Amino acid sequence: MEYKALLFDLDGTLTASGEGITKCVQYALEKLNKGELAQDLKSLEVFVGPPLLEQFMAYAGLSEEEAKKAVQYYRERYLPIGIFENKPYEGIEEVLKKMKEKGYVLAVASSKPDSMVKTVLDYFSLTSYFQVVKGSDITKPKMTKAEVIEEVLEELGFSEKRECAIMIGDRYHDVLGAKSAGLECIGVTYGYGDFQELKQAGAVKIVNSTQELGKILC
C-alpha cells in the first residue's frame, strides 16, 4: 500500500516532552499528598502520551474525581512552565521537510489538549509542515486517541480512504488508537515506549531513530 497521509503523534514522536510532563505530574501528586509516588521522574514517563485522566487513575489508584483534580493541578504548572520544558527530536524537522517535498499530506493527532498542541508546534516553528493539527477536546477528558484520529481523517478528507493513511507514534495507545480507526501504525522507540510495547500492540514497523523513520517513509 502506498500511503498518502502521515499522522504524527506529538509527545515522544515529534518532541521530547518528558521533562515538562513528568515534573508537572510530580507537582500534581505532591499537591494531592501523594508525593511518595513521584520521587522518581523516570518512572513518571508512563504519563507521556496517554490521556492524563486515565493515567492518573491507573498509576496512582485515584478515583475519577481525584484524577480530575490531579489534571487541574498538572495544568497549573504545565501551562506557564512545563509546556516549554520540551524540544524537537534531532532530525525530525528534516524528516517533515522531506516528506512534504515528496507530496505526503502531513497531520498531527495528539492526546494533548488541542490548544497546547498548537502552542508547542508554533513555539518550535513546526506548524507550517502540517495540513491538519488536532489534539483532544479539553471539555472531553475521556476522549480517546481513536476519536482524535477520526477527526483528523475527516478534516483531511481521508475518512473514505483511510487505507491510504498511517499513524506514527511512540506508545501502545498510538498503535491501538490507529487500529481502532482502521489505520496501521509505525512505532518509534526514540520516544517513551519500547520495542516490546510497540510490537505487542501491533505496530507494522518499528524504528529506532528519526533517520530510520525518514528512510522507511521514503
Residue of 9, 11, 170, 174 marked active site? 9
Which residues have a Cβ under 8 Å from the Cβ of 119 and sit 6 or more positions away?
Answer: 83
174 belongs to the catalytic site: no
Gap between the Cα atoms of 20 and 81, Å rounded: 7
What does the buried/exposed string (b/e) look like for 94-116 if buried means 16 or more CB atoms within 10 Å of the residue's CB? ebbeebbeeebbbbbbbbbbbeb
Active site residues: 9
